[in-house]
Homo-oligomer: A and B are copies of this chain.
Amino acid sequence: MQEETTRRSNADRRRETRSALLAAARECFVSKGFAGTGTPELVAAAGMTRGALYHHFADKTDLFRAVLRAEAEAVAAAIRAAAPPGSDIVEALLSGADAYFAAMKAPGRARLLLVEGPAVLGPSEIAVLDDETGGATLREALTALNIAAPVPETARMLSAMFDSAALAIADGADPALYRTALGHLLTALARQ
């Protein structure tokens, strides 16, 4: 036995401290917001020092960006996992929305992705994440529906609808109400 502290490879150290920082950052950003979280408090929660933070991330914003990426990836994975077997497009959209709402129920996730994110990183950078999360799929579905309305604009607005519903649901609203409201809107749109 060499020492009490376990001997770790550089790759291990790197991975472990990074994930510790990310977890603590997520926790702090959710509970106190990006501006309300100081790096001293953040690294203390992670059991690290500010030196480790600035070794792994360019600055506080870069750490925030990494947290958001992880959240967006988790949402995208959840939606992919709930891939619908049926062929009806409206139904596929609705089940996709369900998966989205469920994924966005993770504590603080809606606030991170939909409120803090656009303000800290700018709407344009968030738009990229949105696109990976489900924006492209949404546009494909609308194209398949052969609607008369312009697809990109309709997709963008529908996406905003999903987001506002997700925020409300994560805030305690009844998902069933938003689901039926969405169902009416989408079937009305498809029938046109």
Residue of B nearest to A118 (CB): B115
**Which parts of A17-63 form the interface with B (CB within 8 Å)?**
33-35
The answer for the CA separation of A108 and B34 in the assembled complex, in Å, is 22
* CB pair A185 B157 closer than 8 Å: yes
| A181 touching B167 in the complex, CB below 8 Å, given contacts A118-B119, A119-B115, A123-B115 | no
Find chain B residues with CB under 8 A from A156 CB: 164-165, 168
Say which residue of B34, B115, B165, B192 sits within 8 Å of A153 (CB atoms): B165
When distances are taken between beta carbons in the complex, the residues of chain B under 8 Å from A165 are 153, 156-157
Asked whether any CB of chain B lies closer than 8 Å to the CB of A148, the reply is yes
A164 and B154: CB pair below 8 A? Answer: no
A116 interface hit (Cβ, 8 Å)? yes
Tell me the bound Cα distance from A33 to B34 in angstroms. 14
Asked if A128 is at the interface (CB within 8 A of a chain B CB), the reply is: no
Contacts of A171 in B (CB 8 A): 123
Closest to A191 in B: B188
Q: Which residues of A are in contact with B by a Cβ distance under 8 Å?
A: 33-35, 111, 115-116, 118-120, 123, 147-150, 152-154, 156-161, 163-165, 167-168, 171, 173, 177-178, 180-185, 187-189, 191-192
Q: Top 6 nearest A-B pairs by Cβ distance?
A: A119-B119, A160-B164, A149-B184, A188-B188, A157-B161, A153-B181
